[in-house]
Amino acid sequence: MITREEVMFFDTDCGGVVHNLAYLRMIETCRTRLAAKLGLDLPTMSETRLYPVVVRTEVDYRAPAKLGDWLRIEGRLAEIEGAKFWCSFVMIRESDGQILVRARQALALVQMPEGKPKRLPESLKAHLLKEG
């Protein structure tokens, strides 16, 4: 899944570059669209209240983005590990192709409001095989 974001004022801080939390919000948009492609779309989740919940995040900040930069976020299903699935992300500045951020997130499917973890659907594994 590829998403694009233009760096806004609210993404930056007084250091003059994008704030570390803003990249994670952009990654979340990419991950949500990726999840939809994997069969976990927002309207369905909103009804069933079965949500993918982030259980671990790892982010490496390599180089900073600036106001007005266009960023390209590439996310993919990377691995399935028991009841968790890992997504990996890379954020690239479009003007020069520089890699700015790399991230990995582990997610579990959780039934809200009880907070009960659920087994991953077989369809996720099928997606992984197809992409791998």
Footprint on this chain of its own copies (rule: CB under 8 A): 6-10, 12-17, 19-21, 24-25, 28-29, 32, 41-43, 45-46, 49, 51, 53-61, 64, 66-68, 110, 112-113, 115
Q: Which two tokens stand for residue 106?
A: 């582990």
Shortest Å, Cβ 7 to its own copies: 7
Judge contact between 68 and 104, C-beta under 8 A.
Answer: no
Shortest Å, Cβ 127 to its own copies: 20
Q: Which is nearer to its own copies, 58 or 125 (CB)?
A: 58
Beta strand spans in the chain (E): 2-6, 50-61, 70-81, 84-93, 99-111, 116-118
Write out the H or E segment, with its range, that includes residue 123: helix 122-131
Distance CA 29, CA 5 (A): 10
Shortest Å, Cβ 46 to its own copies: 4
Shortest Å, Cβ 23 to its own copies: 10
Q: Which is nearer to its own copies, 64 or 127 (CB)?
A: 64
Which of helix, strand or coil describes residue 32? Answer: helix
Distance CA 47, CA 66 (A): 38
Q: Which is nearer to its own copies, 99 or 112 (CB)?
A: 112
Q: Which is nearer to its own copies, 60 or 126 (CB)?
A: 60
